[in-house]
Structure 1
Amino acid sequence: MKKIILSLVAIFTLLPFTVKANEGMWFLMFIDRLNHRDMQKMGLQLTAEEIYSINNNSLKDAIVQFNGGCTAEMVSPQGLVLTNHHCGYNVIAELSSPEANYLKNGFWAKDKSEELKPKNLYVRFFVRMDDVSKRILSLVNDDMSEAEREKVINNEIAKIQEENSEGGKYTVVVRPFFQGNEYYYFVYQDYTDVRLVGTPEESIGKFGGDTDNWEWPRHTGDFSLFRVYADQNNEPAAYSTNNVPLKPKHHLPINIGGIKEGDFSMILGYPGRTNRWMPAGGIEQNVKYAYPAWVEGSKVGMDNLKKYMVEDEDVNLKYASKYASIANYWKNRQGMIDALTQFKTAKAKAKQEAKFHKWANKPANKAKYGNVVPTINNYYALTNEKASHDNYLSTLLRSSAFGTISRGLGRQLEMYAKAPAAKQAEIKPALAQVVTEFYNNIYMPAEQDVLAAQLNLYAAKGKAYGVAPQVAALTATNNGDFANAVNAMFEQSIFRSAASVQAFLEVPNANFVANDPLMVLSNDLLTHLSVKSEELMQAENDFQAAYRKLVQGLRESGISDIQYPDANSTLRLTYGTVRALPKDKRNPVSENNYTTLDGMVKKYKKGDAEFDLPQRLLEMAENKEYGRYADKDGTLHVNMLTDHDITGGNSGSPVLNGKGELIGLAFDGNIEAMAGDVIFDPKLQRTINVDSRFILWLIDTYSGASHLVEEMEIVE
């Protein structure tokens, strides 16, 4: 393969060359210039080239994006992939059944022939990145509307993607940074034959449940193992029994020597989204309008699913992943409300914007920046009630399979009914399978209750902005109680059962689908969510331009000291140390930067959905059967704390020591620093990680899957 040499143009020229330890989600291609010296002082023993290289194997080759939403890492030369239990949760649930419940009871393949292939699962390797800011921004100007600007940029992005995909071998993504003031492209290679190798019992992998989520002290084995397969040439290939384990360019050694306070550590991963540049008005809108609606709507969805999930194991498996996702963000958003309020983040941002506004209205700056802050504030004032409405409606759509039926199964039936007879015959078998799978994954009583409860909430709380016309009409006739209305809709709908839809496939009629009551309701909800008045579209256009100028001006003026771009699911590095929180009587250890198996056992509640534990684990804990994974203090460490800057998407990220060895697996943050997506707090910000020794102990000693550990490179 020919060597690729990227020229480091004058990127980040507006930024100073000093950085703040712990804060920042950094591009790997700039580590040498911006971070490496600082990292060396803290304990890094690798060169910048050993972290990121496009010509030689490096650390970045061991890090993958897992199924589009998490991070994972290669931990053996035979393609083993380590990530969080909650990242593999939906896949484990999919592969489970009441008879073989891997989610509840765990699973360990005795050999490669027993590894399980889910329907859809992929990992994405990062190949390289480069700057295309000058190329793209040279094509736009301030006289363009945002729509015109977007069209020009998207056309150029398509060219960049084609130029770098090598005929489809690679996936190329171009992303904006600093609110559209810079652009970079990223080249990836995807592998789609990924199989489940092992997972602990849910009582271990999800120990503490919603109660402990986002909390410290924490005691959970939040990990799972997969394996990537490739063709005989080590290239991506569709699933086949002829495929062989991938030979990764780099895999991570796993260190079981233990950690101590102040040790250097770093995380590489794919953080999903931060909003460190968010204006004060946006923070205020989230705290008072958007997030309260999200929290309330999520709770309604959770409550109406849970009452069925606890009664039937099959129903629990159907909804386990959806419930976990809703619950995670429910607690996250409440934590955001509390943290942003407590730290008066909006007020701090408003002070910064007042300072910026004064700078912006100096004669030299006024033409470009003078109206930026008023334009932004006007937009938020206009959209506060809409933000509340949209979140009530969005939580309805997230929790109800039938709220979005018109853009899923309903749309497919409509296209089928309109197709010529020959085409219908061709697609009918596949569509029949889609129908079967859809109904196999839902429980109709739960769906009806969720939809009715969410419509009740939405009709009551969304009216300040104006609810969807169908909902308004139904509200006028049902006195705000949608239970009977929803039951009537299902009784009259072709979507009432799998049998009813299968019968439709035999005698298709497009009018039946278009006029179906659930289809009509779903179309109305989705349309209402996306519809915008001319006033709103103009305000959005002005806001987007003003927001971009705000970020540009804050950097140009030096008023903001943020030196890194917001997270947007691209590979980043963050670094800091193992760092304790203040002593806590709930965690009686020598330094409050770790928890132990003893602490996990103390939380044990027999039969409790969140705090039960397997009998074997309890017995091994009592007998101190820790082997080589015990800490020098004689305990088995379970979780540990670092002070890294992470967010959603970093789940499953490797925590590495100064030699690039795995010491832990990131899975959560602490609720005290929940404002971290908007503002970094160096005193409170912590990352909660599974200790590598607990992971290996669970695989090796507890589960007896020593053959997997034998694949790995263990550093004593």
Structure 2
Amino acid sequence: MSLKSVLTYGAAFALAAVMAPAAPGTALADEGMWTFDNFPTAKVKETYGVTLDKAWMDKVQAAAVRLSGCSASVVSPDGLVLTNAHCVIACAQDLSTPQTDYVNDGFLTKARTEEKTCPGQTAEILLSITDVTRDINAATKGLSGADFVKAQNVKSAELEKAGCGDDKTIRCQVISFYQGGEYKLYKYRRYTDVRLVFYPEYKAGFFGGDPDNFNFPRYNLDSGFLRLYENGQPVKTPQHLKFATTAPKENELVLVAGNPGSTSRLLTVSQLETLRDVTIPTQQLMRSELRGRLIQFGAESEANKKITVDTLTSLENGFKVFYGQQLALQDPRVMEAKRAEEAALKAGMSAEDKALYGDPWADLAAVQVTAKDLYLPYYFLDSSLNSSSLFSYARTLVRAAKERAKPSAERLPEFADTRLPLVEKRLLDKSNIIPAHERIFLEFRLLKAREYLTTDNAITKLMLGKESPEGLSKRLIEGTKLGDPAVRKALWDGGLAAIQASDDPMIQYALRIDDQALALRKEYEAKVSGPTRIAAEKVAKIRFKAYGNSTYPDATFSLRLSYGKVTGWTYRGQTVPAFTQFAGLYDRATGNDPYELSPKFAAAKGKIDPKIVYNFSSTNDIIGGNSGSPVINAKAEVVGAAFDGNIHSLGGAYYYDGAISRTVTVASTAILEALDKVYDQKALVKELTGK
């Protein structure tokens, strides 16, 4: 599955955790994606009898890695990084050629000279956390709407600049926690030369396919290795985590250090209703149709099938995720529990609180009317979701050219000085652009805009002019030269003059629609984003007064630590064990997709120890973005890499149910066994174990 995009699950299952009315703001046992500066060490000691001191926390923080959309960990003194196979499949795709299919055949190296740079990939390691709440609050005091958003963005950019200066090896990021209750400046060490070391073939890394996704037992080698480089040499990383050679035991404490992407556990009922009634249903309809188009495209030839492997896998994963979320939001018990929590917070407000904050829940409910009205226009004209890479390049070039001419504080936040290096890298790195694949996405987006907004809508007319979605997408994709990194670099270096003088049809198209897109973005910020941030901060302050930091903030793709134990679960009278072994892989194989063994695993059957633990489940609380997160024991050893959740964890976007919600991990024992017996990666095994 693709935890990197969305492990924000939802399903209508037992809600014991969320239904606890006695303390709705207090995290239950094993619940929480905790920040490193507010981890409940006392609770862990009370529950598991394990003391995690500052030295332990510092060691794990120094080895935890944030990738583009995923998590990882440093596991050797020479910059070796463990993550999931599905986190590096895009790199394998980009590095493939007509003669080499790394996605389906795997990427193996015998020497470090064979390691290849992953286009667009970065790796970041957190150095420090600084509270900047007072600075942000002072900058936005008394402001509203778009002025509030702008002031917040400007102050964040100033703080990031002050924290990092012009050092391109450092990244500073101001992150909002507790819906604006706190703001922290996170300072990262950034690596931009990240090379692929090992990727298993698709049939090994995603054995079981979509039917097994979000299920257990699992038999997946969903693991991959990268290496950090600087100045052409592997980075020395004395602060790394030891790779465990034995599997964890039943009920053993394990911790997950990673970057969960996004949860909605602190959203109000009215905000959840917008997700339930508008956002998720609309996106699900489009995902379903786009999935069919990709399947049809892949069925036309073997070459097409290879092209769609990554995108189709990610799309199917997203469909399943949001299907589960929709089920959760449609369950009356979920919404009743959220209403009960809101009622408890309101009841606890003093007269002074009411005078100071008013009724922010009502304010947020009022915003939802406008949010629903603007959702589709904003999505089709300004968002980049489900868009072609070539169009995304064009939009980035056009907007960057406009924004870079302004002082950093006056730009759109994504183009501030501190964020430009990452924008530039992702824009200019070489990637494997397939025009036929690109056309599917652009044509689909244009078709849906006409369908959802109607032909007579001003935005539809702007996007299409007199052309059809099919004709326009064909003209733009076939005519653009933006697939060439050298062309993109020339336009980036040439600035606005080069952009305006360009005869590239995709650039001209992006220019044509950009002013209106930016105007719509400004309207959305004034009427939705700004009022939402203001009201959400008020709710956050009310929650803080009631619960303080005894609970954890929603996920924000920033470093978190969750704790739990290795265990299975019982549901409707059926008990699911915590472990699978290699023997189960061969028993499950049918010879037919998606249960067909890869040739390498089929050939290694007599070599592999069938009793070695392959995958295991635990009670850790994780979400999308945690893909590749190290699962660590009390000795700070990596016992595996988290890659999935079970079907019951699909409510994780909105609540945590410790009785049946589980994280699914590929064990370090399985990784070592496969590297040795299946792939003959002796040097890699020695680097991981020292033997």
Same fold (TM over 0.5): yes
Picking from 445, 459, 462, the partner of 1:468 is: 459
In 1, the alpha carbon distance for the partners of 2:390 and 2:225 equals 33
Select which of 540, 552, 555 maps to 1:564.
552
Which residue of the other structure, out of 608, 618, 623, is the alignment partner of 1:626?
Answer: 608
Aligned pairs for 1:179-198 within 5 A: 179-198=179-198
Instruction: Name the CA distance, whole Å, in 2 between partners of 1:456 and 1:373.
Output: 37
Aligned pair count reads 639
For 1:116, the equivalent position in structure 2 comes to 116
Deviation at 1:658, TM superposition (A): 1.4
Question: In 2 relative to 1, CA 488–574 (structure 1 residues): closer, same or farther, beyond 3 Å?
Answer: closer
Q: Who is 1:284 aligned against? A: 273
Name which structure has the greater RCO, CA cutoff 8 Å, separation 6+: 2
Q: Is the 8 A contact 2:565 2:619 kept in 1?
A: yes
TM-score (norm 2): 0.81
Task: Look up the equivalent residue of 1:665 and give its one-letter code.
Answer: A
Residues 267 and 655 in structure 1, CA contact (< 8 A), matched pair in contact too: yes
Contact 1:414 1:510 in 2 (8 A): no
Quick one: structure 1 residues 368 and 190, their matched pair in 2 at CA, closer, same or farther if it must change by over 3 Å?
A: same
Please report the TM-score for the alignment, with normalisation by the length of structure 1. Answer: 0.79
Change (3 A) 1:337 1:529: farther
Provide the rounded CA distance (Å) in 2 between the counterparts of 1:93 and 1:703. 20
**Counterparts in 2 of 1:62 and 1:499: CA distance versus 1, 3 Å:** closer
Q: 1:539 to 1:28 in 2, by over 3 A?
A: closer
Q: Secondary structure at the match of 1:613?
A: coil
Other structure's SS at 1:287 match: helix
Aligned-residue identity in percent: 25
Aligned partners of 2:400 and 2:522: how far apart in 1? 30
Match of 2:412 in 1: none
Superposition deviation, residue 116 in structure 1: 1.9
Distance across 2 between alignment mates of 1:493 and 1:277: 42
> Structure 1: where are the runs of 5+ without partners?
1-14, 230-236, 416-430, 478-483
Secondary structure, counterpart of 1:190 in structure 2 = strand
Could you tell me which residue of structure 2 aligns to residue 37 of structure 1? Answer: 42
Is the CA contact 1:170–1:189 (under 8 Å) kept in the aligned structure 2? yes
How many angstroms apart in 2 are the aligned matches of 1:710 and 1:334?
43
Distance (Å, rounded) in 1 between the aligned partners of 2:199 and 2:507: 39
Q: Which moved more, 1:380-389 or 1:101-110?
A: 380-389
Q: Which amino acid aligns with 2:42?
A: R
Does residue 378 (structure 1) correspond to residue 377 (structure 2)? The answer is no
1:456-515 C-alpha deviation (Å, 9 max, x unpaired) = 4443334599672317987xx9xxxxxx92343356658436599999x9xx99889689
Partner of 1:3: none
Cα 1:607–1:146 shift into 2, 3 Å? same
1:459-608, aligned counterparts within 5 Å? 459-463=450-454, 468-470=459-461, 485-489=468-472, 495-496=478-479, 519-520=508-509, 523-524=512-513, 527=516, 531=520, 537-538=526-527, 540-558=529-547, 563-582=551-570, 592-608=577-593
Written as runs of structure 1 = structure 2, the 5 A alignment for 1:138-537 is 138-141=138-141, 143-165=142-164, 168=167, 169-229=169-229, 237-238=230-231, 240=232, 243=233, 245-342=234-331, 344-360=333-349, 363-387=351-375, 398-401=386-389, 404=392, 406-407=394-395, 441-444=433-436, 446-463=437-454, 468-470=459-461, 485-489=468-472, 495-496=478-479, 519-520=508-509, 523-524=512-513, 527=516, 531=520, 537=526
* 460-469 vs 153-162, which moves further: 460-469
> What is aligned with 1:63?
64
Give yes or no for the alignment of 1:73 onto 2:73.
yes
1:658 alignment partner, SS class: coil
Aligned position for 2:686: 710
Letter in 2 for 1:281: S
Q: Give, in whole Å, the separation in 2 of the partners of 1:202 and 1:296.
A: 28
1:28 aligns with 2:33: no
Q: Determine if contact 2:89/2:199 at 8 Å carries over to the other structure.
A: no
Question: Structure 2: 5+ residue runs without aligned partners?
Answer: 1-22, 404-423, 491-496
Deviations 1:591-627 (A, max 9, x none): 521223333234324352x322124423543x3x334
Map of 1:614 onto structure 2: 598
**Could you tell me whether the CA contact under 8 Å between 1:280 and 1:347 is conserved in 2?**
no
8 A contact 1:319–1:442 mirrored in 2: no
Task: Find the residue that maps to 2:180 and give its secondary structure.
Answer: coil
Note if contact 2:480-2:505 (Cα within 8 Å) is conserved in structure 1: no
Q: Which amino acid aligns with 2:468?
A: A
1:27–1:573 Cα contact (<8 Å) kept: yes
Listed one character per residue, the Cα deviations across residues 529-553 of structure 1 (whole Å, up to 9, x for unaligned) are: 9616869834543332112111211
One-letter code aligned to 1:568: T
The residue type equivalent to 1:383 in the other structure is: A
SS at match of 1:683: coil
Q: Deviations over 1:38-87 (max 9, x none)?
A: 2234446554222233xxxx222111112x32111111222211100011
Could you tell me which residue of structure 1 aligns to residue 94 of structure 2? 94
Alpha-carbon contact 1:266-1:657 (below 8 Å) kept = yes
Q: CA deviation at 1:413?
A: 12
Conservation of the 8 A alpha-carbon contact between 1:90 and 1:320? no
Deviations 1:279-337 (A, max 9, x none): 11111111121111111112222222232234444444444433333332222111211
User: What amino acid maps onto 2:686 in structure 1?
Assistant: E
> Aligned in 2, Cα 1:97/1:493: closer, same or farther, shift over 3 Å?
closer
Q: Aligned match of 1:652 in 628, 634, 640?
A: 628
Q: Distance in 2 between matches of 1:571 and 1:499?
A: 35
In 2, the alpha carbon distance for the partners of 1:47 and 1:159 equals: 35
Check whether the contact 1:79–1:248 (CA below 8 A) recurs between aligned residues.
Answer: yes
RMSD, aligned CA: 4.0
Q: Secondary structure at the match of 1:468?
A: helix
Distance 1:359 1:118, change over 3 A: closer
TM-aligned CA deviation for residue 410 of structure 1: 7.6
Question: Residues 136 and 156 of structure 1 are in contact (CA less than 8 Å); yes or no, is this contact kept in structure 2?
Answer: yes
Change (3 A) 1:706 1:448: closer
- Corresponding residue of 2:409: none
Specify whether residues 260 and 388 from structure 1 end up closer, same or farther in structure 2 by C-alpha distance, changes over 3 A only: farther
